[in-house]
Amino acid sequence: MINWRLVSRLATKRINSPIHFISRSCPLHSIHLLGRREVRTVTSTSHGSGSRCLDPTSQLSAFPTVIGGSVEADDKLLRTVFDTPASTHEFLSPSGATAGSPGLLMNSKLQSAKSLIQFAGDTLISARKVTNRILSLNDSSEQSLRGAIRLFDRLSDMLCRVIDLAEFIRTVHPDPEYIAAAEYAHSYMMSYMIELNSSSELYDVLRRVMDTPSVASSLSKEENIVAQLLLYDFEKSGAGLDKTVREEVMSLQHDISSLSRDFMTGIAPEYNSVEIDIKDLYGLDPMAVSELRRATAAKNDSSGFQYLKRSPSFARRRSDGPSKDALEAVQKVTMPTTGPIARMAALSVKSSEVRKQLYIEGRRSNARQVEILEDLLMARMRLANMMGSSSYAEYQLADKMARTPEAVKNFLDNLAIKTRPGAQQEIDLLKNLKKKSDSGNDEFYAWDRDYYMSQYTDLTKPRVKSYDFLNSYFSLGIVMQGLSRLFTRLYGIRFVPRETPPGEIWHEDVRKLDIMSDNGSTFGEQRVGVMYCDLFARHGKPRSPAHYTIRCSREIFSEEFHDGLDPGNRDIPTLVTGGLVYQVPTIGLVCDFVSKNEHGPTLLSFGEVETLFHEMGHAMHSMLGRTAMHNISGTRCATDFVELPSVLMEHFASNPDVLALFARHYETERPLPPQLLEASLAQRAAFRYNDTYTQIEMSLLDHALHSITPSSGSSGGIDSSAIYYAVEHQYSLFPVVQDAKWQGMFGHLVGYGAVYYAYLLDRAIASLVWDRVFHSGKEGGAVSREAGERFKNEVLVWGGGRDPWECFAGVLERDEFSSGGEKAMEFVAMGAGEQVAGTWR
């Protein structure tokens, strides 16, 4: 029986657990089952003994293989469903389960918010059965041990089946009852996962598997990889330690979790506003000044000021407010130090003193926030020391591509060497502009950069009448068409819109796509994945774009059809390929595109086009990865490798061969004039080195804060401000502001502690892959099936089932880098060089 009283206590607060970098997969991917490497082909027979050539249609609800409708008709429909309201589509239905509903997200168990809780309870019962089966192996024969790794992996899949689902629902569902139920289910399953994470009994079973030669040698390559990963993660969490030490480790982990929440909650400047004379706000939008004056005159109405901090739009302000006399009496306004108006002021206010004041106050952390950060850093260092590592960076990097703190530092230094000259040239350009407009003043400060960048942009903006209408060539439907056409050429897959019966989706704006492939089947085109696209902004929905794994791909082994451990997998959609049965991956793609076109389709800025291409890179990783094991499926790979497919996709967005596939005016069908995009890209690239160099500095700060060792820290604790200023003095392009204490505002220190460099590394690798595979001088290389198959076969299909350096070496055909190491990291930094510089979203 499930103790729902215990659950109700757990459900009252949301667990902030680590999540894979950028991709939204299961928070812990189960019992330390984080997942990484290996599997060459989807039809490989080297996954272990036993026949998998089954007829799944008699036991599982396999998808139909052949889908009706022509490719041309589906292509037209794809544009239509994204460019016109849902109410105009007969086959699109809003949410609201009815009798015979397929259930939310095609899960027949999810007919209501209450049923989500029941689904979590039923899954927990099955998970406990699998856990007990694993524990029973400690006293069983060697023959029985041969199936242990599959059971571990299956347990991981069960837990993620609820945790991933609940994470997605609580993020995007508009119904408070569903949100509450998802919080409830997520918290309870996470509680059980944490219990498993500290289980020495499970660790003993795994240790016995790996210490029994006849069993270890019989494991398939994937099973061995998963076993090694499980063993590493168990030991990293202290499972192999004696009880006293293990309890201390668990206490430290609890402290780290608590401090992380406190730090994220406390991210705010010491002072949230400053007083500024209205006459000193010359250059700021008069409407913004008017709103500041109104908010200041109505200080007793706190909602006015809070609104200014939250939203850049003034259209929804209340019509009532202070009297005319009260407004005219205001000579000093209360200016927020962060938020949209503060950013607007940084770009437009002429007064250097005002910009300086806002810059410093907007980056100054309070003493308590800095203290929390230093406690967190100390707790992480102590945990690393207890686990045998000298620093938290060393502890975190052992299973990453970089492997050592020294390799990360060298990589960042090499990248800084390649990037700084370009960044300095950009600053010199702005210095000259300041000299001309500020009586020859030679000093250039950090608070000058954004202002003079904005001035330079205005001065150099092309005077082309149609410049501001670049988005007319990128309606959402047209871009989705383009992505489908691109993936057809690269990978042989395409997007097909599908009807959504009542109850399957959570909002009428959601669109469902089947991902169809022309590969891997003797029966013709197959459905290899399902994607739910929730791309439009709405009240209460998160603004950040994201890719969520709702259900990952994995092989369903023959014994699962008969052992009765998991009745819940009976209606999971499946794919049959090469005689093997796989779960069909299901993902959610979330954006917050806002339609500014009342009588037409949603038109995207080019930055939004890049965002959509980026998230589709994650989606292809999930869809095309075809591993037998859950733990190494799709985006379940090394943190500093997972962004490669998504960052690579950004390169495609501006390629002429790719744009020729789709970019055309939404009304006239006129193709995109090349000069229109070139002008926009040229402006965006004007300060690309500064953007990248800023990321390098932030990565160096993260690295320095997490490279502290007991010998390097003072007896009184960690001085994060001293470390921050040391990094600034060594690397900053501007005079250092000594009293800012910005490290207390650096939220990524929690989620990406010691691995913030990862996005830079993947950006560098993506630049190399783009130049040498897709943009290698061959005509049409960016839309070449040969290049696409090369990237798919060397990177995407493996998920986390292959060492990332082997993927890197394979796709670049540079075998000497297959083992990684400092030379490989140096090659990436120096080889990518200037190409890694770019705009950062």
CATH of residue 236's domain is 1.20.1050.40
Same domain membership, residue 232 and residue 341: no
Tokens of 66: 């052949």
Rounded Cα–Cα distance for residues 619 and 635 (Å): 9
**In this predicted model, what pLDDT tens digit does every residue of 250-265 receive, in sequence order?**
899 889 999 999 999 9
In the three-class reduction of DSSP (H, G, I as helix; E, B as strand; rest coil), residue 298 is classed as: coil
Domain C-terminal end among 363, 393, 415: 363
- The residue out of 344, 363, 382 marking a domain boundary is 363
The secondary structure of residue 588, as a DSSP letter, is E
Distance of CA 387 to the CA centre of its chain: 28
Cite the active site residues.
Answer: 615
* Residue 43 and residue 145 in one domain: yes
In a domain, 777, yes or no: no
The answer on 334 and 201 residing in a single domain is no
Are the CB atoms for 126 and 568 separated by under 8 Å?
yes
From the list 814, 804, 707, the residue with the least C-alpha distance to 753 is 707
| Tens digits of residue pLDDT in 560-604 | 888 888 876 677 889 888 889 999 999 999 999 987 666 789 999
Q: Say whether both 112 and 257 belong to one domain.
A: yes
Which range of residues forms the domain containing residue 213? 4-48+102-263
Structure tokens at 787: 């290049």
Tell me what pLDDT residue 717 has: 84
Q: How many domains does the chain have?
A: 2
Three-point CA angle 75, 80, 83, nearest 5° = 130
Interatomic CA distance for residues 699 and 149, integer angstroms: 37
- Cα separation, 549 vs 551, whole angstroms: 6
Tokens representing residue 370 in the block: 């800095």
pLDDT value of position 537? 92
Phi then psi for 576, rounded to 5 degrees? Answer: -110, 125
Match 């206590």 to its residue by tokens: 9
Q: Does residue 648 contact residue 618 with C-beta atoms inside 8 Å?
A: no
Q: Do both 218 and 300 map to the same domain?
A: no
CB 317 within 8 A of CB 291: yes
Q: Contact 93/498 with Cβ under 8 angstroms?
A: no
**Short-list 178, 146, 181, 167, CA closest to 48:** 146
Whether residue 336 is contained in a domain is answered as yes
208 and 167 within one domain = yes
Q: Give the tokens for residue 763.
A: 């950006």
Residue 750: partners with Cβ closer than 8 Å, 6 or more residues away: 260, 263, 264, 376
Residue where a domain terminates, one of 363, 393, 426 = 363
User: How far is the CA of 742 from the CAs of 269, 359, 764, in angstroms?
Assistant: 9, 11, 27
The structure tokens 């799709």 sit at 634
The contacts of residue 101 (CB under 8 Å, 6+ apart) are: 111, 501, 502, 503, 504
Query: Is residue 310 a part of any domain in this protein?
Result: yes
Q: Is residue 487 assigned to a domain? A: no
- Residues 6 or more apart in contact with residue 590 via CB below 8 angstroms: 171, 172, 534, 535, 541, 542, 545, 546, 547, 548
Angle, in degrees to the nearest 10, between helices 785-794 and 804-812: 160
232 and 328 within one domain: no
Residues 633 and 36 sit within 8 Å (Cβ to Cβ)? no
In a shared domain, residues 279 and 175: no
Q: Is 253 helix (H, G, I), strand (E, B) or coil?
A: helix
Q: Which amino acid is at 346?
A: A
Residues 111 and 28 reside in one and the same domain: yes
Alpha-carbon distance values, 406 to 19, 320, 827 (Å): 25, 60, 15
Written as one letter, the residue type at 702 is D
Q: Which of 194, 206, 211 lies closest to 249, judged by CA?
A: 194
Residue 492 exposure: Cα atoms within 13 Å on the Cβ side: 19
Mean pLDDT of the chain: 85
Contacts of residue 70, Cβ cutoff 8 Å, sequence gap at least 6: none
Are 354 and 330 contained in the same domain? Answer: yes
- Its pTM stands at 0.86
Query: In angstroms, rounded to a whole number, what is the distance separating the alpha carbons of residues 257 and 364?
Result: 24
**How far, in Å, CA of 554 to CA of 187, rounded?**
25
Q: What are phi and psi of 391, to 5 degrees?
A: -145, 165
Instruction: Sort residue 100 into left (φ over 0), alpha (ψ -120 to 50) or beta.
Output: left
697 lies in a domain?
no
Strands 586-593 and 526-536: parallel
The predicted structure's pLDDT at residue 48 = 33
The structure tokens listed for 759 are 């996005």
Q: What percent of the chain has pLDDT over 70?
A: 82
Q: How far is the C-alpha of 832 from the C-alpha of 559, rounded, in Å?
A: 48
Identify whether 159 is part of a domain. yes
Same domain, 37 and 139: yes
Closest CA to 760 of 427, 450, 401, 380: 401
Residues 785, 786, 788, 792, CA torsion sign: positive
Is position 340 within any domain?
Answer: yes
Contacts of 45 (CB under 8 A, 6+ apart): none
Tell me how crowded residue 213 is: count the other CB atoms within 10 A of its CB: 9
- Structure token pair of residue 291: 């709103």
Distance, CA of 783 to chain centre? 26
DSSP label of 557: -
Nearest C-alpha neighbor of 295 from the set 310, 829, 507: 310
CB 291 within 8 A of CB 285: no
Are 383 and 392 in contact, with CB atoms under 8 Å apart? yes
Contact 601, 156 (CB under 8 A): no
Q: Is residue 170 part of a domain?
A: yes
d(CA 625, CA 160): 17
Same domain, 336 and 246: no
The list of the chain residues with pLDDT below 70 reads: 1-69, 86-100, 300-326, 328, 439-440, 462-468, 520-524, 568-569, 596-598, 712-716, 776-777, 833-841
Q: Which residue has the tokens 């040498």?
A: 772
